[in-house]
């Protein structure tokens, strides 16, 4: 897949063993951690480990004990829940720079959903017990992470609002732009998910996604060929999708 552009490096980087410099920046820039000073983030993530999960593998099952939460470093993870009728319901799809299952370690202590790797995935697994212990030991750190989680919640609310305020084509354009390093000119972007999962990620039906691709093609911005999107003008696509700031 084509990775999103690396975030800007903080003036003083935290020390996170097992991560590359780019991955460390990715974690430090997340809404959940962005306001924490580097030493605090290093202490909070002490004991976190990197996991490689193969495509199709199960990370955890619904109702398993919530012994960790996760940050996606590379790849995509699908969260799903089994309904009362036994049918699998797709809850969300998470990609690089996003975290999931953090609420479970504070709430029921069991995962309310199952998690599966959509493709080969690299994750940062943060152990729940040590994370919570750090917060109990350091009140200032606990207050900081509470404020960060509040900002993270506002960010998620904004994401939901955008799903309703933007057209399907605009949401699709923003998703494609996130997968590209290019700021302008032509580019070829590899879709990391099948179109059904992309539709679910963007809060639309499969036929709506198809109409979104059709609009991008009519407007001369991008054309889809299987799992590849040929972007003709990345600057225009970024402006259309609202990711040009």
Q: How far is 221 from 2, CA to CA, in rounded Å?
A: 18
CA distance 113 to 145: 24
Q: Residue 161's CB: how many other CB atoms inside 10 A?
A: 10
CA 131 → CA 46, 90, 125, 206, distances in Å? 8, 28, 11, 39
Mean pLDDT of the chain: 84
| pLDDT tens digits, one per residue of 213-241 | 999 999 999 999 998 999 999 999 999 98
Would you call 103 exposed, middle or buried from its count of C-beta atoms within 10 A (0-12, 13-18, 19+)?
Answer: middle
State how far the Cα of 195 lies from the Cα of 239, in Å rounded to an integer.
23
131 and 106 Cβ atoms separated by less than 8 Å: no
Res 210: pLDDT: 93
Say which residues have a Cβ less than 8 Å from residue 95's Cβ, sequence separation at least 6. 72, 75, 76, 77, 178, 192
Q: Tell me which of 89 and 155 has the higher pLDDT.
A: 89
The 3-state secondary structure of 48-111, one letter per residue: CEEEEECCCCEEECCCCECCEEEEEEECCEEEEEECCCCCEEEEEEECCCCEECCHHHCCCCEC
pLDDT of residue 30: 87
Q: Are 101 and 70 in contact (CB under 8 A)?
A: yes
At 14 the pLDDT is 78
Q: Which of 200, 99, 112 is nearest to 151 (CA)?
A: 99
Q: Of 184, 17, 24, whose CA–CA distance to 7 is shortest?
A: 24
- Residue of higher predicted confidence among 208 and 161: 208
pTM assigned to the model: 0.72
pLDDT score, position 209: 92
Per-residue pLDDT of 132-152, as tens digits, reads 888 888 877 777 777 767 766
Residue 115 has pLDDT above 60, yes or no: yes
pLDDT in tens, 73-94: 999 999 988 877 777 778 888 8
Q: Check if the beta carbon of residue 193 is closer than 8 Å to that of residue 76.
A: yes
More confident residue, 165 or 27: 27
User: What residues form DSSP beta bridges with 82?
Assistant: 88
Higher pLDDT, 21 or 244: 21
Phi, psi dihedrals of residue 94, rounded to the nearest 5° = -115, 140
| Model pLDDT, residue 35 | 76
- Whole-number percent of the chain with pLDDT over 70: 88
* Whole-number pLDDT of residue 7: 45
Residue 51 backbone dihedrals phi, psi, to 5 degrees: -120, 140
Residue pLDDT, tens place only, 13-55: 677 888 999 999 999 988 778 878 888 888 889 899 999 999 9
| Residue 164's pLDDT band (cuts 50, 70, 90) | low
């Amino acid at each position: 897949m084509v990775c999103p552009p690396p975030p800007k490096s903080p003036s003083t980087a935290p020390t996170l063993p097992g991560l590359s410099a780019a991955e460390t920046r990715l974690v430090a820039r997340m809404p959940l951690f962005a306001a924490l000073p580097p030493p605090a983030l290093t202490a909070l993530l002490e004991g976190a480990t990197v996991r490689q999960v193969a495509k199709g593998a199960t990370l955890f099952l619904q109702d398993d004990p919530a012994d960790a939460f996760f940050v996606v470093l590379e790849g995509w993870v699908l969260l799903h829940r089994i309904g009362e009728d036994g049918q699998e319901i797709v809850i969300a799809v998470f990609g690089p720079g996003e975290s999931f299952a953090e609420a479970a370690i504070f709430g029921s202590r069991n995962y309310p959903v199952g998690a599966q790797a959509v493709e080969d995935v690299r994750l940062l697994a943060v152990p729940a017990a040590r994370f919570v212990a750090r917060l109990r030991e350091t009140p200032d750190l606990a207050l900081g992470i509470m404020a960060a989680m509040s900002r993270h919640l506002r960010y998620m609310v904004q994401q939901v609002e955008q799903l309703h305020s933007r057209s399907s084509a605009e949401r699709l354009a923003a998703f494609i732009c996130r997968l590209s390093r290019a700021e302008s000119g032509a580019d070829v972007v590899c879709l990391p998910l099948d179109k059904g999962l992309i539709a679910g990620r963007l809060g639309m039906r499969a036929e709506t996604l198809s109409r979104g691709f059709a609009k991008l093609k009519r407007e001369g911005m991008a054309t889809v060929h299987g799992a590849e999107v040929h972007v003709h003008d990345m600057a225009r696509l970024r402006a259309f999708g609202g990711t040009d700031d």
